[in-house]
Structure 1
Amino acid sequence: MRHFILSLALSLFATGSAWAQTLKSPDGNLVLDFHLSGTETPVYSLDYKGKPIIKESKMGFVLHPDFQFNQDFEIVDTKFAESDTTWETVWGQNKEIRDNHKEMFVALRQKKTGWLLNIRFRLFDDGLGFRYEFPVQKELRHFIIMQENTEFSLAGDHKAFWIPADYDSNEYPVTTSRLSEVAGLKDAVLKEPLAAQAPPKELAVQTPLMMKTDEGLYVNIHEAALVDYPAMCLNLDDKTFRMSAHLTPDRNGFRGFIQTGTTSPWRTVVVSDDARDILASNLILNLNEPCKIEDTSWIKPTKYVGVWWEYFIGTNSSWAYTDNQDIIIGKTDYTTLKPNGHHGANTAHVKEYIDFAAKHGFDAVLVEGWNEGWEDNWAFGKERIYSFTKAYPDFDVKELNRYAASKGIKIIMHHETTSSVADYERQLQDAFRFMKDNGYDAVKTGYVGKMIPRSEHHDGQWMVNHYNYVAETAAHYRIMVNSHEAVRPTGMCRTYPNWIAQESARGTEFESFNGITPDHTTILPFTRLMGGPMDYTPGIFEGDLSTYGGSKNNKLSSTLTKQLALYVTMYSPLQMAADLYQNYEKHLDAFQFIKDVAVDWDHTYILEAEPGDYITIARKAKGKNEWYIGGITDENAREAVIDLSFLPAGKKYQATIYADGKKADWRTNPKDYVISTKKVSSKTVLKQRLAPSGGVAISIKEL
Structure 2
Amino acid sequence: MKKTVILLVALLLVCNLTNAEKKYGISSPDGRLTAEITVGKQLSWSLAHDGEQLMGPSPVSITLDGGEQLGPDARVRQTRRKRIDQTVPSPFWISSQVRDHCNELQLSFWGDWGITFRLYDDGLAYRFHTTRKGSLTVVSEEARFRFMEDSPAWVPYVKEGLGGDQFQTSFENEYVHVPISQINRQRLAFLPLLADAADGWRILITEADLESYPGMYLTPDGDSPNTLRGVFPRVPAAVEQGGHNMLQMFVSKREEYIAKTTGTRSFPWRVCVVTDNDASLAASDMVYRLAAPSRLEDTSWIRPGKVAWEWWNDWNISGVDFKSGVNNDTYKYYIDFASENGIEYVILDEGWAVNLKADLMQVVPEIDIPELVAYARERGVGIILWAGYHAFDRDMEEVCRHYAEMGVKGFKVDFMDRDDQQLVDFIYRAAETAARYRLMLDFHGMYKPTGLSRTWPNVLNFEGVHGLEQVKFDWSQGIDMVTYDVTVPFIRMAAGPMDYTQGAMRNAARDCFSLIYSEPMSQGTRCRQLALYVVFNSPLNMLCDSPSEYMREPESLEFIASIPTVWDETRPLNGKVGEHVTVARRSGSDWYIGGITGWDGRETTVDLSFLPDGEYEMTLFRDGANAHRKGSDYKREMRDVKSGDTLKLYLAPGGGFAVKLRKK
TM beyond 0.5: yes
Cα deviation per residue 1:190-249 (whole Å; 9 max; x = unaligned)? xxxxxxxxxxx5x53221111233611121010000000000011213771111221122
Q: Choose the corresponding residue for 1:282, options 277, 285, 300.
A: 285
Residue 432 in structure 1 maps to residue 432 in structure 2: no
SS in 2 for 1:349: helix
Residue equivalent to 1:102: 103
Residue 200 of structure 2 aligns to a residue whose secondary structure is coil
Equivalent residues of 1:88, 1:95 under 8 A apart: yes
CA contact (8 A) 1:230 1:459 kept: yes
Answering whether residue 624 of structure 2 is matched by residue 661 of structure 1, we say yes
1:295 maps to 2:305:
no
Tell me which residue corresponds to 1:446.
414
Runs (5+) with no aligned partner, structure 2: 1-15, 159-165, 236-253
* Gap change, CA 1:48 and 1:669, over 3 Å in 2: same
What is the number of residues matched between the two proteins?
613
Matching residue's letter, 2:58: S
Q: Given that residues 505 and 521 in structure 2 are in contact (C-alpha distance below 8 angstroms), is that contact kept between their aligned partners in structure 1?
A: no
Does residue 352 (structure 1) correspond to residue 347 (structure 2)? The answer is no
Which residues of 2 match residues 183-202 of structure 1 at below 5 A? 183=184, 201=186
The 5 A counterparts of 1:151-190 are 151-165=144-158, 166-169=166-169, 170-183=171-184
Tell me which residue corresponds to 1:116.
112
Report matched runs for 1:46-445 at 5 Å: 46-64=47-65, 66-109=67-110, 115-137=111-133, 141-165=134-158, 166-169=166-169, 170-183=171-184, 201=186, 204-213=188-197, 215-237=199-221, 240-250=225-235, 251-311=254-314, 344-374=325-355, 376=356, 385-417=357-389, 421=390, 424-445=392-413
Per-residue CA distance 1:554-607 (angstroms, 9 max, x = gap): 852221110000001111111111101111122112222102211121111110
- Residues 348, 552 of structure 1: alpha-carbon distance in 2 compared, 3 angstrom cutoff: closer
Give me the whole-angstrom Cα distance separating, in 2, the residues matched to 1:45 and 1:235. Answer: 19
Q: Which amino acid in the other structure matches residue 497 of structure 1?
A: P
Q: Could you tell me which residue of structure 2 aligns to residue 490 of structure 1?
A: 450
The correspondence for 1:478, drawn from 435, 438, 458, is 438
Q: Could you tell me which residue of structure 2 aligns to residue 338 of structure 1?
A: none
Could you tell me whether the CA contact under 8 Å between 2:324 and 2:330 is conserved in 1?
no
Q: Which residue does the alignment assign to 1:572?
A: 538
RMSD (Å), alpha carbons: 2.5
Q: Which amino acid aligns with 1:410?
A: G
Task: In structure 2, give the amino acid aligned to 1:447.
Answer: F
The equivalent of 1:563 in structure 2 is: 529
Give the conservation status (yes or no) of the 8 Å contact 1:371–1:387.
no
**Whole-Å Cα distance in 1 between the matches of residues 519 and 404 of structure 2?**
44
3-state SS in 2 of match to 1:215? helix
Instruction: Tell me, in whole angstroms, the C-alpha distance in 2 between the residues paired with 1:272 and 1:547.
Output: 36
TM alignment of 1:534-549, pairs within 5 A? 534-543=498-507
Change (3 A) 1:358 1:146: same
Cα distance in 2 between the residues matched to 1:45 and 1:108: 20
- Give 1:398 deviation, angstroms: 2.1
Residues 68 and 264 of structure 1, relative CA distance in 2, 3 Å threshold: same
User: Secondary structure at the residue paired with 1:15?
Assistant: helix
Q: Is the 8 A contact 1:364 1:412 kept in 2?
A: yes
Which AA in structure 2 matches 1:350?
A: Y
The AA in structure 1 aligned to 2:623 is: D
Residues 404/552 of structure 1: CA separation in 2 closer, same or farther (3 Å cut): closer
Cα drift, residue 278 of structure 1: 2.3
> Partner amino acid for 1:686?
L
Partner AA of 2:120 in structure 1 = F
* Conservation of the 8 A alpha-carbon contact between 1:401 and 1:439: yes
Q: 1:462 Cα shift? A: 0.5
CA drift of 1:252 comes to 3.2
Superposed, 1:537-686 pairs within 5 Å as 537-543=501-507, 550=516, 556-621=522-587, 624-649=588-613, 651-665=614-628, 668-686=629-647
Q: How far apart in 2 are the matches of 1:175 and 1:440?
A: 41
Structure 1 Cα separation of the partners of residues 555 and 421 of structure 2: 48
| Separation (CA, whole Å) in 1 of partners of 2:325 and 2:520 | 23
Query: Which amino acid in structure 2 is aligned with residue 352 of structure 1?
Result: Y
State the distance in 2 between where 1:548 and 1:280 align: 33
Aligned partners of 2:332 and 2:516: how far apart in 1? 27
Distance 2:519 2:402 in 1: 43
Whole-Å separation in 2 of the counterparts to 1:547 and 1:562: 15
1-structure distance, mates of 2:435, 2:285: 24
> How far apart, CA to CA, are the structure 2 residues paired with 1:448 and 1:270?
27
- In the alignment, the residues of structure 2 paired with residue 547 and residue 103 of structure 1 have an alpha-carbon distance, to the nearest angstrom, of 51
Contact map agreement 1:90 1:296 (CA 8 A) in 2: no
Alpha carbons 1:659, 1:674 under 8 Å: kept:
yes
State whether residues 448 and 492 of structure 2, in contact with CA within 8 Å, keep that contact through their aligned partners in structure 1: yes
Distance (Å, rounded) in 2 between the aligned partners of 1:437 and 1:471 = 18
How many angstroms does 1:62 deviate by? 2.7
Q: Is the 8 A contact 1:65 1:146 kept in 2?
A: no
Q: Structure 1: any 5+ residue segments left out of the alignment?
A: 1-12, 110-114, 187-200, 317-340, 377-384, 450-457
Change (3 A) 1:448 1:461: closer
Separation (CA, whole Å) in 2 of partners of 1:66 and 1:19 = 24
Q: State TM-score, norm by structure 1.
A: 0.83
For residues 469 and 395 of structure 1, what CA distance do their matches in structure 2 show? 29
Q: Is contact 1:518-1:693 (8 Å) kept? A: yes
Shift of 1:125: 0.8
* Displacement after TM superposition at 1:369 (Å): 3.3
- Contact conserved, 1:157 with 1:213, CA < 8 A, in 2? no
Aligned-residue offset at 1:254? 2.3
The range that moved more, 433-442 or 25-34, is 433-442
Distance 1:510 1:342, change over 3 A: farther
Separation (CA, whole Å) in 2 of partners of 1:14 and 1:408: 71
1:413-457: CA deviations, max 9, x gaps? 11123xxx3x532311111112112211111011167xxxxxxxx
Contact kept, 8 Å, 1:626 with 1:702, in 2: the verdict is yes
Identify if the C-alpha distance between structure 1 residues 475 and 231 changes in structure 2 by more than 3 Å, giving closer, same or farther. same
Q: What is the percentage of aligned positions where both structures have the same residue? A: 29
